Structure 1
Amino acid sequence: MVSAQLLALILALLLIIINLLTKYRKKHQRLPPGSLGIPIIGQSLGLLQAMRANTGERWIKRRIKKYGPISKLSLFGQPTVFLTGPAANKFIFSSDLLTPQQPQSLARIIGGQNMMELVGADHKRIRGAVSYFLKPEILRKYVGKIDEEIRQHLRTNWVAHNRVKVSPSMKRLTFNVICSTIFGIEQGTMREVLVKEFNNMLAGMWAVPINLPFTHFHNSLKASRKVRKLLTELIEKKRSALQKGECSSHEDLITYLLSLGADKGQALTDNEILDNVVLLMIAGHDTTSIVLTFIVRQLANDPITYAEVLNEQEEIAKSKASGEALTWDDLLKMKYTWRVAQEILRTIPPLFGGFRRVIKDVEFGGYLIPKGWQVFWTTSTTHMDESIFREPENFNPARFENQSGIPPYCFIAFGAGPRICPGYEFAKTETLVGVHYLVTRFKWRLCSKDDTFVRDPMPSPKHGLPAQIELKTFL
């Protein structure tokens, strides 16, 4: 006969199992609608294919129509909840229950110690250091250097040429500026090798993280190792120069990060410096080059906007002596030009979307988002919402004349809240200087009737945006 104790034990185990199954069922029922799809792959390939065909916004709209503004799916190997709308943006960018979460592919390529992956005191420490170096008071000192780097690029790659591909030219320009200004890497062999491997690295950042020889992800990891090796050597050279007193702690961002907290025994590790240098190289390169490329495209197709930008920039040019560099005060006068740039960022945001990770079970909109899941947001859902921006398909820089009239958490090209992009002012400075010399020194017309673009994952004109150019006055 079965003893009473054994029966009691079996009964207790059954009750525990029933309780766990009930909790699981209730938890599962509270999850948002949608499907996680095929394990690991999920909906990643469908989203990436739509982005590359420039139908990503339509892919998102179909999803919202089918499931509503909150739904579950699987992206880049992780269970995910997709959220849309101003309230969702506020939750995503402000909640303490969410931390930055990049696709596994991106995190493995950049490194796990970059500020987008860190939380708490570590995030605050590194973000504070980077933000300090990129704030307006510091950037004022570098306007002249940015000015000279941009003029040098245009002298070399635009003057004496009657045709250029704008997109690759702007990518090289912004890479040169960030190398020189932020990292102190002057023109030469190292820059040439870096730019080649850097472009290879970018190709697989948004990819299914399967490391096989034929995949974009594999090639990006390979390029990342080469980039990191070069930057590690650079960091060692700068550390040696600092120790010998051959350079100052504020010479560039790397020397500043190397000096930070050294006197208090709180110095950043080499991996923290390296990962954040790679992150800033990517962020500083992509955003500004895309904005400049699509400003050139817009001005070629929009004579009214072109005339207003040209008038504003020529007024500034008239106040400068021949060869005199722009100053911070000159940039403050470029109000209309910056509104044009903001409207480009609204209609063609460089970043399609982003991710956060849930650190504990949280509810939003009546649904449960379990601990460990990632949250996915996109820029277009508010940028192109006609209830927020009237006639959103129309290009209208006047939208940004009164910034307070734009509801919070709706224009999110640089993010929002406490984690807004620390490089915002740097991108703005580089964009305004670039536009000044483009419109005051050159005329152009587009050579291809097809000036559409794809996302892979950043927006890029299909043919590189070829343009016929004419020099108006020497740089």
Structure 2
Amino acid sequence: MESTTILLWVLSFVPLVILMIKKKRIGERRVPPGSFGIPLIGQTLELSKAMRSDTAEEWLQQRARKYGPISKMSIFGKPTVFLTGQAYNKFVFSSDGKTLSSKQPASVSRLMGEKNLFQTIGEDHRRLRGAILSFLKPEALKQYVGMMDNEIRLHLAQHWHPDHVEPLMKTLTFNMICTLMFGIERGERRETFVRLFKEVIEGTFVAPINLPFTRFNRSIRARSEVGAIIREVIREKRAKLEKGEKGHDLITSLLSMCDEDGLPLLSDQEIEDNCTVTMVAGYDTTSGLLTYLVKLIAEHPNVYQLLLKEQEEIAGGKKEASDPLTWEDIGKMKYTWRTGTEALRMYPPILFVFKTALQDIEVGGYVIPKGWQVLWTTCITHLDGSIYPDPHKFNPSRFEDQAAMPPHTFIPFGGGARLCPGNEFARIETLAMIHYLVTRFTWKLCLEENTVSREPMPVFKQGLPIRLNSREPYKA
């Protein structure tokens, strides 16, 4: 009798066990295909290695060919869904704060700050974005074109005797940000600032292991010193405002903003974190674009001639050669910006961005479980031959009618509500610098092969050495 009872209990549990296994298998089938790789490490080391060798695009493309446009992996020890393609770009850009969070990996979050624009959602994101856009929107930037022009001329006079392009472009973009964004004068503090920021950037795509002598630990300590400098600048700007002195930099602009009740719109921590992310976003991205443009223009003499023709027409409209560029001049640089746009398509400064699923999300016939990371890319879309024929060919003419391009296919600055607010600042800076380069110089590359590493932004290992020759000044 006892054995019969035990048998009945066992038999009664069999259907339940079968049901649980079946549900588990169904769940497994609904999770995207792929592999989590090595426990705890996953594909982090593989991706890091590919980035250092500038083969991350190929590595990601191989995964997309193997598993499809949506697959699973593990990055930084977290389950991650890798998305690629126009349809998934639209999904990411249209997702609200209830489905996808912009919370970044621990290394990025710790270094950029919890209150930075790229990580906040909902009302906080709208408030921060609105505040930054009030300084960076085109209407406001019109008055800064002359200041940019002056900064570029000063840079050319002091530094432009190059044998290596990339370090000089980084010097330009750093000084531009310090002058227009932070209002930090040249001197020892500015030099300390750039040294510390380089150390911060080095830790943004490494394992977040905060132990002595690790790269992440060095970046954490550098970020602490950066924060101290920014807080010092905030105190100085606030004291000037209290005295009635006006400023034309981003920090002063943010300090001046108040809500409906007359209270400060942003906290000091929000200003500090967003100054940090502004520097990181603007320092390597624009300098990288300008460096690639110098390389591409040297490799395509026909492009140089078309650029020269456009820029000499602008220079010819000046009364004096010393007259600065104007907002109207920037608007005439149509072909020049097509050249910059094509460079951004081929070599986007940021290859991918992480988000986090806030709930179970059904997409593409699969489920992205709550808490999993979502990784979407720019590079695979930009190199899709069905969108951009002969995608590895440098061809600025493909952007003659950019409005006719399918949506969500050109995304170097992100998209939707997450479109980078500094894209117009970068465009003006790039156009102004190219104007002076092509009208004042010709150049040739010193090396046939200029190797690049991503750390996580592109870095030319040899600095892109060139042979530079001055041109005769343009005469109308």
TM (norm. structure 1) is 0.93
Give the counterpart of 2:135 among 106, 129, 133: 133
How far apart, CA to CA, are the structure 2 residues paired with 1:40 and 1:439?
Answer: 50
Which digits, 9 at most, give the CA deviation of each residue in 1:161-186, with x for residues without a partner?
A: 3x431011101100100110111112
**Distance in 2 between the 1:69 and 1:451 partners?**
31
Aligned to 2:258: 261
Distance 1:121 1:17, change over 3 A: farther
| 1:7 counterpart residue number | none
Mean alpha-carbon deviation: is it higher for 204-213 or for 290-299? 204-213
Residues 78-114 of structure 1: CA distance to partner in whole angstroms, max 9, x if unpaired? 2110011100000011112212132211111110100
How far did residue 21 of structure 1 move? 7.2
Aligned partner of 1:38 in structure 2 is 38
Partner of 1:370: 369
Cα deviations by residue, 1:378-431 (Å, 9 ceiling, x for unpaired): 112110011000111111101110112211101111111121111111010000
Identify the residue that residue 318 of structure 1 maps to in structure 2. Answer: 316
1:109 aligned partner: 111
CA distance in 1, matches of 2:333, 2:295: 19
Taking the TM superposition and a 5 Å limit, the aligned residue runs for 1:310-459 are 310-320=308-318, 321-459=320-458
CA distance in 2, matches of 1:310, 1:253: 33
C-alpha distance in structure 1 between counterparts of 2:136 and 2:17, whole Å? 55
- 1:122-165 superposed Cα distances (whole Å, 9 cap, x missing partner): 1110011111210010000000111111111110011xx3x431
Kindly, what percent of the aligned residue pairs are identical? 51
Indicate the SS of the match to 1:222. helix
Q: CA offset at residue 77 of structure 1?
A: 3.0
> How many Å apart are 1:18 and its aligned residue?
9.0
Task: Please state how far the C-alpha of 1:23 moved relative to its aligned partner.
Answer: 5.4
Distance in 2 (alpha carbons) for counterparts of 1:349 and 1:188: 32
Structure-2 separation of matches of 1:351 and 1:434: 21
The alignment partner of 1:469 has SS state of: strand
Given the superposition, is the C-alpha separation of residues 23 and 183 from structure 1 closer, same or farther in structure 2, using an over 3 Å criterion?
Answer: farther
Matched, 1:232 2:234: no
- Compare 76-85 and 172-181 and name the one that shifted more: 76-85
Deviations, residues 307-351 of structure 1 (Å, cap 9, x unaligned): 101111111112121211100000000000000000000011111
- Rounded to whole Å, the distance in 2 between the matches of 1:23 and 1:380 is 37
Q: CA shift at 1:13, angstroms? A: 12
Seen in structure 2, the aligned counterparts of structure 1 residues 365 and 473 have a Cα distance that, compared at 3 Å, is: same
Give the alignment partner of residue 154 of structure 1, picking from 156, 169, 181: 156
- Structure 1 residues 474, 108: closer, same or farther in 2, change over 3 A? farther
Q: State the shift of 1:462 in Å.
A: 2.1
Deviation at 1:473, TM superposition (A): 5.1
Alpha-carbon deviation of 1:28?
3.2
Moved more, 440-449 or 149-158: 440-449
Q: Classify the secondary structure of the residue corresponding to 1:113.
A: coil
Distance, in Å, in 1 between the alignment partners of 2:208 and 2:42 is 12
Aligned to 2:249: 252
Computed over aligned residues only, the root mean square deviation of the Cα atoms, in angstroms, reads: 2.3
After superposition, the Cα gap between the structure-2 partners of 1:425 and 1:122, relative to the gap in structure 1 and judged at 3 Å, is same
8 Å contact 1:76–1:105 — kept in the other structure? no
Kindly indicate whether the alpha-carbon contact (under 8 Å) linking 2:200 and 2:223 is maintained by their aligned counterparts in 1. Answer: yes
Shift of 1:29: 3.1
The CA deviation at 1:24 is 5.1
- Misfit runs of 4+, over 6 Å: 12-22
Equivalent position of 2:268 in the other structure: 270
Q: Distance in 2 between matches of 1:17 and 1:98?
A: 34
Matched-pair contact (CA < 8 Å) for 2:51–2:454: yes
Structure 1 residues 327 and 72: CA distance shift in structure 2, 3 A:
same
> What displacement does 1:25 show?
4.9
The alpha carbon displacement at 1:40 in A equals: 3.4
Aligned pair count reads: 463
1:18-33 mapped onto 2 (5 Å cutoff):
25-33=25-33
Find the counterpart in structure 2 of residue 181 from structure 1.
180
Could you tell me which amino acid in structure 2 is paired with residue 195 of structure 1?
V
Distance of 1:150 and 1:23 partners within structure 2:
63
- Structure 1 unaligned regions, length at least 5: 3-11
Change (3 A) 1:371 1:312: same
Shift of 1:222: 1.6
Q: Is 1:280 aligned to residue 278 of structure 2?
A: yes
